[in-house]
Structure 1
């Protein structure tokens, strides 16, 4: 914004109120976005959060819940799981030590393998074979970003209706998984208010 002021002073030109308001608004938006990005990037435990929610706008799943209010509770759970900091610790369900409790519970914990398999079978039955193969070929971090509503290369190639159906399908399964493993999350101080 300072460069705008300098050029206006040098040229002895002051824009009209509407244009000036737009310039100020854009400058503030850019400043806030950059400040937010820097603060998140400085904290490695927020790496997954930044991959899921990489810009300072409404979360995609919040917008989806507005169009499908029946799924709001499950979509908010996905947002919460994607928003918590990466934290290491021991899973109190299977006694496995992990660098990322949330990733462990969703993708690896032996205690919830039946729920996870049920979720993955539902996903495979919902999306095309090609999309299923691509989903499961991602590394664990990218797959978790996909499952928690983030945008990555896999999601970018999905049709928006397919993505919507995928997210809505995941909500019920993630709620079930959460209900079986919330004691672990509470133990590690992830209190989601339920």
Structure 2
């Protein structure tokens, strides 16, 4: 109904030129008080889907998204009193060894971040260092003291690296 007069006007090939095309859409949009862009999109959709009225039917909406682009399924679990498992929602690439070893389930706490910073600062006070050395030192000293069972499993190659180099750099830079 909204685009019918414009579609009839476009049957005349001279109206398909750039100037006439947009002018006709603009005039029709003003006469029915609709945004020009909306009318333009409807016309393009009409032609794209084979010039049928079915093409103008409203498309079904997809799943509702949150600000980060994820589906809202996690909130439903939380509303029922269930706490969703955070380890399955980890960001970043999966470790190559996680198929052979168990996946990295270690969750870094604020105390661990403080230990990382303390380790890095200690090494900087001693002289020039880099983050690779600081990461290795953190795992072998600070992490070993605060999480002996996890460190033992890591050394015995039962689990993958609990705090990766990337995580270490992320927390140091943050």
TM-score by length of 1: 0.25
Is the helix fraction higher in 1 or 2?
A: 1
TM-score by length of 2: 0.27
Q: Which structure exhibits the higher relative contact order, with contacts defined as CA atoms closer than 8 Å and separated by 6 or more residues? A: 1
Larger Rg, first or second structure (1 or 2): 2
